[in-house]
Structure 1
Amino acid sequence: MHYPENKGLEKILERGGACLENGLPFVIYRKPKQQELFAVFQLNDELKSSRDFTEKGFVFAPFNSEGKVVLIQPDEVWKGEFQSEKSQVTNNIFLDESGKDAHLELVENGIKEIEKGRLQKVVLSRKIEVSNTKSPVKIFKTLLNTYPNAFGYLFYHPKVGTWCGATPETLVRVKNKELSTMSLAATLPYIENENPKWGSKEIEEQQMVSEYIGDRLAHALERLDIDKAESVRAGNLWHLRSEVRGNMLPNLKVKEVIGALHPTPAVCGIPTREAQQFIQANENYKRTFYTGFLGELNLSSQGELSLFVNLRCMQLEDGKASIFVGGGITEASDPESEWIETQNKSKTMLGIL
C-alpha cells in the first residue's frame, strides 16, 4: 500500500466530514475482526471507473453487472485504529407494516416462477425509507461499534451518493493467486443462549449456493475446497456459511473470477441471469449499489484484492436513509415467513439510526 500515513481516529473521521462538505470522494473502512481503519481519499471530484480490475484504489460496484464499477483513486491513504466501545443500539424499533402486500405479491410471483421451472432460487428485496438526522460519520461509528465482525464502511462520491454498511459476506479475496470466498445463505433470528435450529429449507438453500459457487469456479482453479456449512452469527441474526478456497490457474485474470462470482446466488438467485432478469422486471425499485460489491483493489500489491458483497447497507441523502432488506425464495418458501424475515433483517440498520 502507498505506505499509508498513520493518523488518529478523530482526524480520519474529521477529514471524512470535510470531504462530505466539500464534495470530494473518499471511503473509510475496517475489515472484519480488525482494529485497523483505512481511509482512501481522492483529491478531485472526477467519476473514475475500473475497467478490468488492474487499477489501484477502492471499488464500489452496482448489482447490475453491466453497470460501471466506481473507483476511488488513492491520492492519499491514511490508517488509524478503532477501538470498539460498548454499542448503544436500541432494540425497541418500530417496524412499519406498510409495503407488506406488495412484498407478499412479489414473493408469490417468485414462487410461481420457480414452480414453472425457470428458476431454482431467487432473492427478492424491498427498500425502506426513513427520516434521519444523524450525520454519516456518527452512523458509521455506531456501525463499527455494533458489528465488529463485519466489513464496515462509509463511502462518498458527489456523483454517486453516500453509502455505509456492515456486511458479513466476502465476495472474494485474492493474494498470491490464492483465492478464498464463501457460500452464505439462510437466516434465523438470534435468541440468547439458544443454538439455531435449521430446517430443510435453509439447509437446502445453503447447499444450493455452495454447489453453484463450486460449478462457477471449477474452470478457474487448480484445486477447490468447500468446507462443511457452519452457523455464524451476524448481529441479531444467524446464517449458514461454508468457506471456499482454491489456487487460481496461472494465466487467469481477476476480472474473470469476479465475473464468475458476481452477483452471487446469495443476493441474486440460480440460474444467475434468469434470476437477475426476474429481479429487474419485478422488484419495484432499482437496487443500484445494494447487493453490488466493494473493497480494496491492488492497494497492497498488484493482484491482491479484498472484496465484499454490499449487504446490510444504507444510502443516506437529504435527511433520509434508505435501507434494503431481502431474502432467498425457493419452492419451499412461505410469503408470510419471508415478510417476517425482512422485518427482522430491517432491525439491523434501523437500530443503528
Structure 2
Amino acid sequence: MHYPKTKDLQEILDRVEVCLEEGLPFALYRKPNDDEIFGIFQADATLHHSMDFTEKGFAFAPFDSEEKVVLIQPDDIWKSEFHFEASLATNSIPLDESGQEAHINLVKSGIKEIKKGRLQKVVLSRKIEVTVSKSPIKILKTLLNKYPNAFGYLFHHPKVGVWCGATPETLVKVKDKKLQTMSLAATLPYIENEKPKWGKKEIEEQQMVSEYIGDKLAHTMERLEMDEAESVRAGNLWHLRSEVRGTMLPNLKVREVIRALHPTPAVCGIPTGEAAQFIQANENYKRTFYTGFLGELNLKAQGELSLFVNLRCMQLENGKASIFVGGGITEASNPESEWVETQNKSKTMLGIL
C-alpha cells in the first residue's frame, strides 16, 4: 500500500495535466465536507477491472450492473489540502428548450408502464450537450468550491474518457463491517429563506426508496437502523434523505451488499430490474457511467470502502460536455412538471461551465 504522499496542491494539479496529455489514468477527488484532496495515479494505460471489490484502487462503475467496473490502480497516492474559496454567484443560465417534446413523451410512456402495474417508479433522464472552453481542472475547482458537501471528482482513463462531478449521494460506506448508506429522493428548487414544502408525491417517492433499501439489505445485516427523512440542501435544490446504518453479517461479502444496492431506486426505479429494462429500452441514449458509482476500494484497509452514486456529473470530450438530468416518475407525476424539474437540475452543471 502506497500511503498518501503529502504534496503541494499545484504539484498534484500539474501531474493531472500531464496525465491528461499523455493518456495516463488517474482519479482526483475530495470527500464531502473534507479539506483534503486525493490523487490516485496509475503508472500505465492498462484498463483494469474490479471483479469482486476486494482489489485496491479507485472504482468507476457503469449504470448497467452487468458491465465491468473500471479500476484505477493506486501506483501512487498523493494528497493535499484543498482550501475552499467562496464561489462567485453565477449569472442566469440560458436554458435550451430543445428536447422538451421527446422528454415529455418519455415521461408519458413511463407513467403508462406504471399504470399497467409493472413498475412503481422509474427514473428517466436525458443528455444535454454543450460546448465548453474551460479546462477539466478549472471545472473541478469550480465544482469543489461550489459544492463543499458533495463528493467532487475528476476521473480519466484513456480507454474510458474524462468524467467529473459533485454528487450528493452515498451508495455505501463500509468500515469494520459497519455499513452506512442513504435513501435519497424527491427534489424541490431552493428558494432563499424558505423551507421546502414537500407534497404527497415527494414524500411517497422517498418512502418507497427507503422501504426498498430496507428490504434489499434486511437479509445481509445483523441489524439495520433507518432515520426519519429530513430535508437536505444540495446547491440550488432540496432533497429528502434518510440515513441508513447497519452491521453486516460476519461472512457477508462486500460485493453482495453492492449488488443489493446498485442501481439504487433513486437512479433507476422500483422494482430495479424491470425499471432498468424500461430505461435501456426507452431512454434515447446510453447512460454509460452516469448513475453508476465511484470511489475508494480498500485503500486504507481491506474491507473498507467509500462509494458514491455518479450523479451531477458530466463527460468531457472534444470540447464538449455531456450533462445528464433526470427525475423519478411515479403514477402521480405530471410530464410538464418533470420537464421543468430536469431544466432546474441542469442549472447545477451548466452553472459550473
> TM range, normalised to the smaller chain?
over 0.9
Residue of structure 1 equivalent to 2:108:
108
The yes-or-no answer on 1:349 pairing with 2:349 is: yes
C-alpha separation in 1, matches of 2:92 and 2:200: 31
Residue of structure 2 equivalent to 1:138:
138
Residue of structure 2 equivalent to 1:42:
42
Residue of structure 2 equivalent to 1:33:
33
C-alpha separation in 2, matches of 1:327 and 1:88: 28
Secondary structure of the 1:183 match is strand
Residue of structure 1 equivalent to 2:218:
218
Residue of structure 1 equivalent to 2:189:
189
C-alpha separation in 1, matches of 2:88 and 2:30: 19
Residue of structure 2 equivalent to 1:82:
82
Secondary structure of the 2:219 match is helix
Shift of 1:92: 1.0
Residue of structure 2 equivalent to 1:91:
91
C-alpha separation in 2, matches of 1:265 and 1:75: 35
C-alpha separation in 2, matches of 1:314 and 1:27: 15
Identity among equivalent positions (%) equals 79
Shift of 1:70: 0.1
How far does the alpha carbon of each residue in 1:73-105 deviate from its partner, in whole angstroms, 9 at most, with x for none? 000000001011011251310000000000000
C-alpha separation in 2, matches of 1:75 and 1:109: 47
Secondary structure of the 1:37 match is strand
CA contact (8 A) 1:2 1:300 kept: no
Secondary structure of the 2:185 match is strand
Residue of structure 1 equivalent to 2:255:
255
Residue of structure 2 equivalent to 1:180:
180
C-alpha separation in 2, matches of 1:4 and 1:43: 16
C-alpha separation in 1, matches of 2:329 and 2:91: 27
Change (3 A) 1:193 1:102: same
Amino acid at match of 1:311: L
CA contact (8 A) 1:89 1:146 kept: no
Shift of 1:221: 0.2
TM-score (norm 2): 0.99
Residue of structure 1 equivalent to 2:289:
289
TM-score (norm 1): 0.99
Amino acid at match of 2:322: S
**Tell me, which stretches of 5 or more residues in structure 1 are unaligned?**
none
Secondary structure of the 2:37 match is strand
CA contact (8 A) 2:60 2:71 kept: yes
Residue of structure 1 equivalent to 2:205:
205
CA contact (8 A) 2:2 2:75 kept: no
Secondary structure of the 1:97 match is coil
C-alpha separation in 2, matches of 1:314 and 1:156: 12
Amino acid at match of 2:289: F
Amino acid at match of 1:25: P
C-alpha separation in 2, matches of 1:227 and 1:14: 43
Secondary structure of the 1:90 match is coil
- Report 1:150-169 matches (<5 A): 150-169=150-169
Shift of 1:2: 2.5
C-alpha separation in 2, matches of 1:229 and 1:280: 30
Residue of structure 2 equivalent to 1:315:
315
CA contact (8 A) 1:55 1:297 kept: yes
Residue of structure 2 equivalent to 1:336:
336
Amino acid at match of 1:298: N
Write out the 4+ residue segments of structure 1 that deviate beyond 3 Å after TM superposition: none
C-alpha separation in 2, matches of 1:125 and 1:140: 23
Amino acid at match of 1:250: P
Amino acid at match of 1:309: V
Amino acid at match of 1:56: K
C-alpha separation in 2, matches of 1:215 and 1:68: 26
C-alpha separation in 2, matches of 1:17 and 1:227: 42
Amino acid at match of 2:316: L
Shift of 1:188: 0.1
More displaced, 168-177 or 3-12?
A: 3-12
Secondary structure of the 1:34 match is coil
Secondary structure of the 1:11 match is helix
